Amino acid sequence: MLIAFSMSDPLPEAMENPYWNNSKVINLLLICMIITLLTSCGGKDHPSVSSSLMNDYKYQAGQVWQYETRKHEENSTLEILQVDMGERDTIVHIALHHLRLKNPHTENSITDELPHLPMSVTSIDASVMQLVESKEPPHIPEGYYLWKEAYETGKAGVYTLSVKEAVNAVEEAINQ
């Protein structure tokens, strides 16, 4: 809720509350104002907004991208599940469709989908070629929540390889 008042008005009751004067609340308000300013800048016309910050908004949940695939997976697509701000980098959570991963643990020895891969935004930048479509944000798979819990305790990471190299790494791990 936005509270508007002029300097001649008495302070609203909410601001007379001692909790309002808490420096944490004031800091939170300042951070919210800065974020609002940065996200409403419009990007290219405002050089004060870093290109990496604007690049983070390039990827939105529900987007489907063509990416540099392995030779036998030209029809594979990358779907953006969610975008999170990490401590060091933006994390783009993706699902990959129409793969041909060798997997001795499946009935036909092939896996055609990876439902969750956490990738650095720089890895996604190096891999995507063209936006195919934007649709409603997808259902977040359980793997995301398992990863997030492990990530927050330092037991999981983010792929910094290209998507193609990450698929190779997953395939290699499955087949060991």
DSSP string, 73-114: -TT-EEEEEEEEE-SSSEEEEEEEEEEEEE-TTSTTSEEEEE
3-class state of residue 40 by DSSP: coil
Q: How many CB atoms lie within 10 A of CB 15?
A: 12
Band of residue 87 on the pLDDT scale cut at 50, 70, 90: confident
Over residues 35-60, mean pLDDT? 46
Lowest mean pLDDT among 74-88, 121-135, 162-176: 74-88
CA dihedral 118, 124, 126, 130 (to 10 degrees): 150
* Predicted TM-score (pTM) above 0.85: no
Band of residue 124 on the pLDDT scale cut at 50, 70, 90: very high
- Find out whether 99 and 168 touch, Cβ atoms under 8 Å: no
In 110-170, DSSP assigns E strands to: 110-120, 128-134
| Joined tokens for residue 42 | 């419009």
pLDDT tens, 10-27? 444 444 444 444 444 444
Residues 6+ apart with CB under 8 A from 123: 92, 159, 160, 161, 162, 163, 166
In whole angstroms, what is the distance from residue 78 CA to residue 72 CA? 15
pLDDT of 153 over the 90 cut: yes
Q: Radius of gyration (Cα) for the chain, nearest Å? A: 22
> Residue 81: its pLDDT value, please?
97
In whole angstroms, what is the distance from residue 58 CA to residue 71 CA? 26
> Residue 85: its pLDDT value, please?
86
Lowest mean pLDDT among 6-10, 47-51, 121-125: 47-51
> Residue 89: its pLDDT value, please?
81
Band of residue 73 on the pLDDT scale cut at 50, 70, 90: very high
Mean per-residue pLDDT over the chain, rounded? 77
